Amino acid sequence: MGDHFFPKTRWLGQPPRFLGVLLLGLLITPIPAGAAEKSKNRMDVESIDDLFGSPPPAPKKPAEKTTPQDKPTEAPQDISAPAVPESVPPNQPSSSEPHLAGFYQNDLAYTYADKKHWSRFNNTLDLSTQGRTSGGVAWKLGGRVNYDPIYDLADTYPQAVRNDQRFEAIIREAYMDFSSGDWDFRLGRQHVVWGEMVGLFFADVVSAKDMRQLVLPDFDIIRIPQWAARAEYFLGDFHVEGVWIPYMSYDNIGKPGAEFYPFNPPAVAGTVIAAEKQPVGLGEAAYGTRLSWLKSGWDVSGFYYTANDPSAAFSRQIALLPTPTITYQPIHERIHQLGATLGKDLGPMVLKAEAIYTKDKLFNTTSATDADGLVKQNILDYIVGLEWSFPQETRFNAQFFQRWFPGHDAGIVPDKTESGISLLFSTQALHPKLEPKLLLIRSLNREDWAAQFKLTWKLDGNWRLATGVDIFTGPPTGLFGAFDDKDRVYTEVRYSF
């Protein structure tokens, strides 16, 4: 791609430091005993199979009895990660005996741009169990625990950030399923996924997101479930879905001073960021409906959804007495969204597209005379993607996306039309256990882009190791340029069971 995507001044010009950090990350990350034993004989390697072994066997999972699904379910495709998203209901066990599943994951990251520091050593344990009652009601209960000792071992971040990201225990999914005629119902904390593209969120408007690591983790880590009541009706190729969310979950943006906090006001004396205001109560409920058709290979859907915007806008208040103070507060106000998705297998490639019209979304304005520093804008977002699959699990994905402001306010940072592209390439051609993946996301309006390179080593059906680098470049007001000094290298270890 040339220096345009990988400028030498950032990391290619410093190979010893870059490789040293990667090596250190791999050394202090736990490695399965089997892999360690094999590494003793690496000097006798005669082929790549000797080093990485034969293709991984199927994951070792508890045996379960299943019953076939009577009705089709829409399984959103996460083509940026081959695993089935956790939002897709699995085949329910026919017996009442629950079984335990989940994963442990360790994430280690070192930020090497600007002020160098260890920025992540997170440990995640995700557990879930599911079953079915004698009355035919299926259920699932899952939770997640995160602990990151970085916030105990170093004082790089403010105390509020350390308290927020050191430890958390959350309920991930807690719901029950039952049916009546052609209707299916799900009540409780659940994932509702209405769209999915590579590396970006467009039609996936219902999900809240954990944005404390931006969009770098896998989607099953980023998504936050909602407490919802969902009803689905199936009739041939037609599917209708309704959702009501009485108690909303909002995007988790962390605390000011965090690695990827989304708002950095001008460094002016007396500037304060107040506590986030998240509206709750039945009067703040979200609701929507979605219709979909599958006809002649064309998978088409349309939806309407209204809710308080899960992503925060930062209102501004100026006080002159007793001392001049500028206070910014993250707030969430109601928006209305109309959207559509499209999918079609075109033989050598797969077409996917999503479009969303959003009414009354808040944007910060540079106008000093605006009372709260926010203006309401209507926007149209759309994205079109094509993916080609080749032998040896090789795939290439290209996406074009755009945001259009019909009544563009001159005081906001984005242009009237904002355009961008993304490119994804991954392959297992080197070896069935090795998968290098490169994802590039770039603005076409300015020099604002992100590059993610990840090399995954699938030791066996349950263990997965990975290492990679995340790079951000652009102006301070850009989507990625705001994190220009957050370039990092990382390792990842995951054990699934």
Q: Which domains does the chain have, with CATH numbers?
A: 8-496 (2.40.160.10)
Q: What is the pLDDT of residue 52?
A: 56
378 burial type by CB count under 10 A (0-12 exposed, 13-18 middle, 19+ buried): middle
Rounded distance, CA 225 to CA 191, Å? 5
Query: What residue has token string 């080093």?
Result: 51
Q: Which residues are within 8 A (CB) of 55 and not within 5 positions of it... i.e. 6 or more apart?
A: 432, 433
pLDDT value at residue 368: 84
Q: What are the pLDDT tens digits along the chain (497 aa)?
A: 444 333 333 333 333 343 344 434 444 444 444 444 444 444 344 444 554 555 555 555 444 434 333 443 333 334 334 333 444 444 444 455 788 999 999 999 999 998 899 999 999 999 999 999 988 899 999 999 999 999 999 999 999 999 999 999 999 999 999 999 889 999 999 999 999 999 999 999 999 999 999 999 999 899 999 999 999 999 989 999 999 999 999 999 999 999 999 998 887 888 999 999 999 999 999 999 999 999 999 999 999 999 999 999 999 999 988 899 999 999 999 999 999 999 999 999 999 999 999 999 999 998 888 999 999 999 999 999 999 999 999 999 999 999 999 999 999 999 999 999 999 999 999 999 999 999 999 999 999 999 999 999 999 889 999 999 999 999 998 999 999 999 999 999 999 99
Nearest to 247 by CA among 307, 293, 183, 300: 307
Per-residue confidence (pLDDT) for residue 461, from 0 to 100: 84
Q: How far apart are CA 281 and CA 279, in angstroms?
A: 7
Give per-residue pLDDT as tens, 284-329: 999 999 999 999 999 999 999 999 999 999 999 999 888 999 999 9
CB-count burial class (<10 Å; 0-12, 13-18, 19+) for 43: exposed
* pLDDT score recorded for residue 247: 95
CB count within 10 Å of CB 312 equals: 20
What does pLDDT average to over the chain?
Answer: 85
Q: Between β-strands 434-443 and 488-496, what pairing exists: parallel, antiparallel or unpaired?
A: unpaired
Question: CA-to-CA distance for 175 and 178, rounded, in angstroms?
Answer: 10
Q: Which DSSP string corresponds to 346-407?
A: -SSEEEEEEEEEEEEEEEEB--TTSSSSEEEEEEEEEEEEEEEEETTTEEEEEEEEEEE-TT
